[in-house]
Structure formats: C-alpha cells, structure tokens
Structure 1
Amino acid sequence: MTQILEAESSADDALTDDLCFARFINVQKSYDGVELVVKNFNLDIRKGQFVTLLGPSGSGKTTCLMMMAGFETPTHGDILLKGEPINGLPPHKRGIGMVFQNYALFPHMTVAENLAFPLEVRHLSKDDIKQKVQRALAMVRLEEFGDRRPAQLSGGQQQRVALARALVFEPELVLMDEPLGALDKNLREEMQYEIKRIHANLGVTMIYVTHDQTEALTMSDRIAVFNDGVVQQLATPETLYEEPENAFVAYFIGENNRLCGEVVELQGDTCRVRLDSGDTVLAKPVAVSEVGERTTLSLRPERVSILDTGDATVDNCFTARVEEVIYLGDHLRTRLSVCGNDEFILKTPNAVGNTGLRPGQEIRVGWSRGDCRALDV
C-alpha cells in the first residue's frame, strides 16, 4: 500500500530563521512520478536538538532522513541547513555525519584507519588526523582499540566505532538510521545512554530514526510519531506519553488500556462515555467534539489504583476480577476483567500489600477522569 507522509510543526515548535538549524519545507517524495510517499512534510529543528523520527517499518521516516543526507532527492519542496537550501548538494558536500544499522565499517582497515578515512578525504594533515582520531576514540571509550580490525570487535564496539567515525570530522549534524537495531537488549540500552552522553557533551544536532518507542523516549528532545505515512504528533517525550492526541500515539507510545463506547455528555474538560459494556466512565475529551460520537478511551495501566472497600473518592470506580498475575521484579502486571474488557492491565509496584492478588479474586479499582483520555476510534 502506498503511504503518504504529512506533518506540520505546531506553533510552539515553529522557529524563527535565526534559531532554525535544519528545516523541511513542504517536502514531497515520489519514486514513480505518480504516487507520493512523502507529502507536505514540514519540520524545524533547533541547533543542538536530538530529534527522533519514530514509527513502524515502512512509514516514511527513513525516506525523510535519506533526503536530509542527500541519498534521496525531494520531488517537491526544500530542505535547508543553516538557512541554505541543500536539495542539489551531493552528500559528501553537506558536512553531515551518518550512522547506519549495519555499521558500514571498512573490514580491511583498522579502527584508527576507519576513523582517519573521512579526515583524509578532507585533506587534513597527518598530525591533525592523528589528534582527531585519538579524540574520537576517547569520546566512545575505545582508546585501546585503534589497532584492531572491525571483525575483532563486539557488535557494541563496532557501533561505537561507527559513531566515532560520524563525529570525527566534527560535523554540526549527525543522522542515525536504526543504529542499534542489530544489538541485543543490554547493548542497546548501554548504547542509548552512550549516544545521549555524547550528544550532551558535544551539543551536536542529531536526527535519529527508530521504530523502538522506549529508545525514542530515552534519548530524544522531540519525537515525530509516524503512522501510515502521516506524522501523527510532534512533541517532547513527556507530552507524547502524558498527552497523546490520538489513539495511535497513545497505543504506540507505552502501554494502554482501551475501552470503547459513545459520548453521552460533553461539558468543558469532562465527558461522560457509555461503554459498550453498559458501564459509564468520566474522561477528558481530547479527540471528541459532540454527543453521540464513538470514542476509544485510553488509560495507562500505572494510573489505575486498587481501592479499599467502600472507597469511592476517585472519579471512576469498578469491581474487577483478577485473571492473571505476572511477577516482573520491580512491579506486578495484573490482567483484570473489568468494564467488559478481559485484557485490562493494572501495574503496581512490588511493595508490601501489593503482592497478594490471586486469580479469581474480586477487587475494586479506580482512576481519575484526567488520566482517562477520550480519543478517536
């Protein structure tokens, strides 16, 4: 299926020309001259920001990155770097560092020679090359590995070398395309913090592509969430998690309970929703505007509380049956049957009083209207 990509920076994200370091302006992309795979993509990036393009495979995020790098050319629109259009500029003249998932290291060269290569093509002196290579190795904590070849390194070490090579010539912009996708969980987490540390120390602008929402939340200043070729929301990690604007963002960023129903009352910052189960829930209207509208309620599992008998101090209180309890060390993940949903998840910290739940047990649970968002279906 052909996917269309369309995004607009919000008013809060729009930057003046003197503050904007990189910019996409009404960018479109077609490979066959007929079908657009990127449509009206607009994004302003401030100098020193870490911006992530997040979404499932095939959603268009990598195409946008490749157009910034110069490996793809926009069909329409402009890409600016420091206020200057770069559409027709070849990749090697853009001064942009690039990190790929497959590392793209030269196997016949040592680590130091791999790092020296982008400096040699820029005709730096031997003394300058040696100094910058040593500085880059220290930056990724591989000072003792300069004489080794890539095959003699672990996957995490190879990715550090690839990162060092992208930074060795001191670019102002670094692009990363799923750079941690080939690493195991522990190495991924280690490299996430490593990249974040380097970004903080250098202040270099970074544009990062990933389909891993935890990775995006961990590393980014701002995240553009892609789905079906459209940027659904552009915001900070906290805003995306706490204030998703539609159902896709809510369910792609973190875990959510979803309850379906119809708006029966709408007043100010509160709506009353009659669920398909017949229960009534108070929620915050986000993507609903009229009575009778279908909606999906979004509720984070950690925002659900276990209530004492007779406690009705929260906006929404229901009796739930415990279906399954999974011990995950620092917290318990409990599957409940409530409001007609047998897959309703409750997350509770592993603390005294929270470990006694058993399948078949009936409990009272509740949540506030502000934590329950009425979104699109």
Structure 2
Amino acid sequence: MTQTLEAEPPTQAAADKTCFARFRSVQKSYDGVELVVKDFNLDVRQGEFVTLLGPSGSGKTTCLMMMAGFETPTHGEILLKGEPINGLPPHKRGIGMVFQNYALFPHMTVAENLAFPLEVRHLSKAEIKQKVQRALAMVRLDEFGDRRPAQLSGGQQQRVALARALVFEPELVLMDEPLGALDKNLREEMQYEIKRIHAELGVTMLYVTHDQTEALTMSDRIAVFNDGVVQQLASPDTLYEQPENAFVAYFIGENNRLRGEVTELAGERCQVRLDSGETVIATPVAVAETGVRTTLSLRPERVSLLREDSREFENRFSAKVQEVIYLGDHLRTRLSVCGNDEFIIKTPNADGHSVLRPGETVEIGWSSADCRALDA
C-alpha cells in the first residue's frame, strides 16, 4: 500500500520570500508605555499599490516612517525582499520617498533636484542626464528642467517630487500625504497621474492618506487604521461593499446609521428592533447572537424611493422629507425616518429635477442584503 505524504506548510522564512515588503508583528511606542502601532502585520506584493488609510494619529504615518528607516520598531520585524531591514539606515534601503511638503531644494533647478539622488549614487554624468530627462518626461515636465521650484505651481512641484523619488529607479516608493497641500482639482489630477505612473512602471507603492477618495481611486488594497490597529485590509470595492465593522463602514463612504437590538438570527438574515420601535431585516456581519446591540449600516444610494410600480423590499417605511440638495448628477435628500432625522438617500438625476419638497411624506425601501448589522 502506497503512503501519500501531505505537503508540509511553508516555513516562515519561505513565506517571507514570497512577498516584496513585510511588516511582521510590528509595534511602536515613543514613550515606552503607550503603543501608537499595535501588532501591525502586512504583506505587500511586488508591483502592488497599498494605501494606509485612517484619521490623524491612527499610526499609519509611523508605519511608513519605520519602513523608510526614520523610525525603529519597538517590537517586531520589517523585511524587504525577504531580508530584515530593522537596523539598516535609510540611505541603504533603496527606497523612494515623497512627502507632503515636497522637500525640494529651493536653490537648485528642477533638473538639479532630480540629479541629486543620482549624484550621491556616483552615476556618470551621461547616465544622470539620461535618467533626469526620462523622469521629467514621465511626469510631463520635459520643458521645466531649468526652472527653480519657486517658479512652479503646487501641482508641478509635486510632480518634481514624484520624479525625484522615481529617478533612481527604486523598487519601492513611499508616499506620505503627498497631495494634502493641493486644491481639489489638482489633487484629483495628481491621483490619476500617480495611478498612470504606477501602471506604467510597475513599481511597488506604499501610500499614506486620510482621504478616502484618494485611497479608493488609486489602491489595489487598503489597510484601514484606527488607534494603531488595522481594522480591515481589502480591495477598495470590498471595503465599501463589505465593511467588517462600524468604524470601516463610516470611514469609507457615507452611511446611514440605525441602532437597535438583534431579536432573531437565522443564517444570512437577522431581525433588529430599532430604538425607535420599528423592525428591520438585515445581514448579520458582526453579531453572533440575539439580545446584543448592533448598529445597522446602509449606504444612501442603496435606498429607493418607492412608487406604485416599485419592486417589493423587505424593509419599507414612511419618511418625511427634510431637505433636497441638487448636485448635478444626483440629488441628495435628507429624511426623517425610524427616529433618524439625518437619514440620507442619493438618487440619480436621470429624469430631471426631483419633485420632492420639504415636509412631504414619501415611502422608501431597501433590501436586507444592503443593510449590514455591525458592532454597536
């Protein structure tokens, strides 16, 4: 009789080799008492765009600074291409870095700024000239090499900072709130510019922001931070459609919150009695038994205004219109429903202006699949 041997699970060392950058059980404390980063684990694949997203003080920038070498972990290990780098100084890590304040040398021209990281690596003048021209072309600033940073707009300065981080062809680029100083239009333009460059070069990027739109626009995966802990790590669409807890649901996109108690639980459906007395059918996500408190999460665009020919919904309620805001492509209506005076619905402006008026009573409905029962 032939005995079949099961394949052994990969060793930790083998697992470390499979990802490009890795944080392994990393913690950070500045005072020896309070942890600003608590047991952070993250694997970044080569060529991936990963964003660390969270409010100010959540620990995301500290993680980036530890990868760059400007901060040292209190506990845990950081690896790059399978090799520990905890004790490696920043200049030996070969990592490109882009800061919010650009950090350009004001007395140097754009071309000289880009040449600097190549000069410290002792490249020949011919190589430097070639790489600088290539980097300028990459960010569409071919004609700006002779200008100084003060002669450029904010968006152009940010492009130079990005080009300088890429000019020596690093395999990993770190970006710390790089678009925070730009106005809305420039910020959106640079989001697509960074996404284009990432797609063209295939470089690995680790990006820090508190702006959810930036994260959703550019990322392959997003790690949502709060209080030094990753709340959820997933693709943008998964984070938006399937948040695992109340913090992620309300930090990513807009949500309606309804609070109550779970009264029935059966498979992929649960019944919740709201504090206002109504009963809602929802999808249980972070509830495991009846009798527990929960917060229901419901996206505004998943709520429908009901007409006579509307399809049936498990959840149907009367609502009083409080406010209607015309936003061009859609209408944002604030309602009073189920004890919540700040209940929002978004409807596409496909048929012209809404006929809803403040004070009017309407019927609304939503599916249990779109209503998630999360932690209280």
Normalising to structure 2: TM-score of the pair?
0.95
Q: 1:118 is matched with which residue?
A: 117
SS at match of 2:107: coil
Q: Tell me the equivalent position of 1:369.
A: 368
Paired residues of 2:18 and 2:82 also in contact (CA < 8 A): no
CA-CA distance at 1:239 after TM superposition: 0.4
Measure, in 1, the Cα distance between the counterparts of 2:317 and 2:196: 45
The answer to whether the 8 A contact 1:336-1:344 is kept is yes
- 1:263: which partner in 2? 262
Q: Secondary structure at the match of 1:271?
A: strand
- Find the residue that maps to 1:88 and give its secondary structure: coil
Q: What's the secondary structure of 1:265's corresponding residue?
A: strand
Deviation at 1:288, TM superposition (A): 0.6
Partner of 2:271: 272
CA distance in 1, matches of 2:351, 2:120: 63
User: Given the superposition, is the C-alpha separation of residues 182 and 97 from structure 1 closer, same or farther in structure 2, using an over 3 Å criterion?
Assistant: same
Q: 1:312, CA displacement in angstroms?
A: 6.2
Would you say the 8 A contact 2:36–2:227 is kept in 1? Answer: no
Shift of 1:108: 0.1
Rounded to whole Å, the distance in 1 between the matches of 2:292 and 2:33 is 36
CA distance in 2, matches of 1:263, 1:32: 42
What's the offset of the Cα at 1:311?
A: 4.7
Shift of residue 229 of structure 1? 1.8
Q: Alpha carbons of 1:133 and 1:375: their partners in 2 closer, same or farther (altered >3 Å)?
A: same
Alpha-carbon distance in structure 2 between the residues aligned to 1:178 and 1:52: 10
Equivalent in the alignment of 2:191: 192
The corresponding residue for 1:234 is: 233
Match of 2:336 in 1: 337
Provide the C-alpha distance between the structure 1 equivalents of 2:34 and 2:255, rounded to a whole number of angstroms: 34
Give the residue type in structure 2 aligned to 1:140: V
* Aligned residues of 2:16 and 2:22 also touching (Cα < 8 A): no
What pairs up with 1:110-189 in 2 under 5 angstroms? Answer: 110-189=109-188
Question: What is the correspondence of 1:4-43 to structure 2 with a 5 Å cutoff?
Answer: 16-43=15-42
Give distance in 2, aligned partners of 1:170 and 1:35.
Answer: 38
Partner residue of 1:347? Answer: 346
Greater Cα shift, 200-209 or 354-363:
354-363
Partner of 1:209: 208
CA distance in 1, matches of 2:104, 2:126: 23
Work out the CA distance in 2 between the residues paired with 1:221 and 1:233. Answer: 14
1:99 matched residue in structure 2:
98
**How far, CA to CA, are the matches of 2:59 and 2:122 in structure 1?**
36
Question: Residues 348 and 354 of structure 1 are in contact (CA less than 8 Å); yes or no, is this contact kept in structure 2?
Answer: no
Q: What code does the residue aligned with 1:364 have?
A: E
Distance, in Å, in 2 between the alignment partners of 1:204 and 1:133 is: 18
**SS of the counterpart of 1:137?**
helix
**Structure 1 unaligned spans of 5+:** 1-14
Residues 138-171 of structure 1 show CA distances to partners (whole Å, capped at 9, x for unaligned) of: 0000000000000000000000000000000000
Q: Provide the secondary structure at the position in 2 that maps to 1:343.
A: strand
Q: Percent identity?
A: 84
- Aligned-pair distance for 1:354? 5.9
Residue pair 1:309, 1:364 contacting (<8 A) in 2 also: no
* RMSD between aligned residues: 1.2
What is the count of residue pairs matched by the alignment? 363
Pair 1:221 & 2:220 matched: yes
TM superposition shift of 1:16 = 3.7
Contact 2:16/2:79 (<8 A) preserved: no
Name the CA distance, whole Å, in 1 between partners of 2:22 and 2:42: 6
**What SS class does the counterpart of residue 180 from structure 1 fall into?**
coil
Q: Give the whole-Å Cα distance in 1 for the aligned partners of 2:190 and 2:352.
A: 37
- The match for 2:107 is 108
Which runs of 5 or more structure 2 residues have no equivalent in the other structure? 1-13
Which residue identity lines up with residue 289 of structure 2 in the other structure?
E
How far apart are the structure 2 equivalents of 1:192 and 1:137? 18
| Contact 1:19–1:47, Cα closer than 8 Å, also in 2 | no
SS in 1 for 2:332: strand
Q: Distance in 1 between matches of 2:213 and 2:43?
A: 23
Find the counterpart in structure 1 of residue 86 from structure 2: 87
State the alpha-carbon separation in 1 of the partners of residues 155 and 274 from structure 2. Answer: 48
User: What's 2:5 paired with?
Assistant: none
Distance in 1 (alpha carbons) for counterparts of 2:292 and 2:228: 26
With the length of structure 1 as denominator, give the TM-score of the two structures. 0.95
Matched residue type, 1:55: G
CA positional deviation for 1:309 = 3.4
Find the counterpart in structure 2 of residue 48 from structure 1.
47
Partners of 1:37 and 1:276 in 2: CA distance: 35
Q: In structure 2, what is the Cα distance between the partners aligned to 1:218 and 1:323?
A: 32
| Contact preservation (8 Å) 2:102, 2:157 | yes
* CA distance in structure 1 between the aligned counterparts of 2:354 and 2:42, rounded to whole angstroms: 47
